[in-house]
Structure 1
């Protein structure tokens, strides 16, 4: 294969993936334009981790906010366990403001990408609400958790005892996607649940799984979880 054929092959692959393939180099160094793009993408990833979800995004869906025990962003990154437990005042507010024992509990969290919430929530949440209605599922009081980890759904389950819970949370950003969201789902979440007890749809963003499509699919999965009274590796899809 000559150089021109190889270049055309890489260009064809590049049209179907954001991965860095066939970017070229000069000696042992990447091309200047590629190095600058790499640094820009890295900056976007850092901004996603350290950023804050816009208040307007939460206000649009009437989501009140509570905190975990993470303290600050540096502590959040170093102590994942703090993000799995609600702050004492958060537990009180959730208990007072939320419907108890709902069929479906929706929780939103910034996780490791605030940008994922800002970019995807306006599409995924309305689609999810419509999907719940289509599947004849009732939803409780939705809210936002700042500094959350996936395990916080168990602490929330302890307080509200939902039949199923779905957590829409920002994923760890990469150099190809800084605004990717995951949807974790669990049947009767409680402290002591294992990762194998949870379901997940990941890579939710405009260049991955479309948020509207993900929202619609989540509703059908939650219905099957309720019908089979289980989630995780033993659920029959």
Structure 2
């Protein structure tokens, strides 16, 4: 019984032992020959410019449901437009579909690249940032020793003292944190908006600082060194599989080393798929004005 079923299946796909099988093999040979012939120009078909290729990691492609025959396609599309979670992807048996698996792998690679890459030096130069490095010597130490990312060595301290103004109302800081991609994607749009917003309100600022291999609390070390009333650090957040470009602003009034995290006011999810950099910049400037007026930040501001 089983043997007859196998024979029938083989005949159907053109691999039987009789004439049908020979025809199937001949058809397969022609198809294989065509594939090789397509490579005579030295370029595989998938690499040719006339092929319809898509970046499966783009937001446009991720917005397309791959679930077959949904009961309510319009509702599914609306749901997918409200979240970056992986819904509407369907499955192949008990496993995810190949497209879903490939997208997960691609997003994971983007996240790793964001953590292990450096911020473009050209961006730092264009924004005229005072660039220093935390006590971390390299990227590996930055990831494994967060305590060193919160500190500045003697050389960095001397550079900041000589290049920055002491006692300003607000000291703005940028740092790669755990996502250089977030800084590259957002800093050039958000920083000028914050600076202009503070200037329009008559709030003084010093030259903005960039801290390589920095952590959030490095702003406390800067605060103790330069004594601004408020420090605000724009830092790349730990990337996930949804995005590697999310940045946050941590703002603190009269920050000191060793203070509780509850003293910080946070504006998070700053990226193209969350709060845009320009919108976030306007909000941060307004928020800093409130913090200066109330002389408090974090949970103290809410009280």
Question: Shorter-chain TM-score: what band?
Answer: over 0.9
* Cα distance in 1 for residues equivalent to 2:257 and 2:78: 48
Counterparts of residues 59-78 of structure 1 (less than 5 Å): 59-78=125-144
Counterparts of residues 146-225 of structure 1 (less than 5 Å): 146-225=212-291
* Cα distance in 2 for residues equivalent to 1:137 and 1:82: 31
1:45-88 CA-partner distances (Å, limit 9, x unpaired) = 00110011111111111012111112211221111111000122
Look up the match of 1:232: 298
Look up the match of 2:11: none
* Cα distance in 2 for residues equivalent to 1:163 and 1:225: 10
Of residues 189, 193, 206 in structure 2, which corresponds to 1:140?
A: 206
* Cα distance in 2 for residues equivalent to 1:165 and 1:222: 9
Q: 1:7, CA displacement in angstroms?
A: 5.1
TM-score, normalisation: structure 1: 0.95
Look up the match of 2:166: 100
Look up the match of 2:98: 32
3-state SS of the aligned residue for 1:65?
strand
1:124-143 CA-partner distances (Å, limit 9, x unpaired) = 01111121022221111211
3-state SS of the aligned residue for 1:225?
helix
* Cα distance in 2 for residues equivalent to 1:8 and 1:102: 54
* Cα distance in 2 for residues equivalent to 1:197 and 1:66: 25
Instruction: Identify, as 1 or 2, the structure richer in strand.
Output: 1
* Cα distance in 1 for residues equivalent to 2:211 and 2:267: 19
1:179-220 CA-partner distances (Å, limit 9, x unpaired) = 110000000111132111010100100110110011011111
Q: Alignment RMSD, CA only?
A: 1.4
| Alignment gaps of 5+ in structure 1 | none
Look up the match of 1:42: 108
- Cα pair 1:164 1:185 within 8 Å, conserved: yes
- Identify the structure with bigger relative contact order (alpha carbons < 8 Å, sequence gap 6+): 1
Look up the match of 1:14: 80
For these two proteins, the number of residue pairs brought into alignment is 235
Look up the match of 1:52: 118
Q: 1:230, CA displacement in angstroms?
A: 1.0
Look up the match of 1:88: 154
Q: Which has the larger radius of gyration?
A: 2
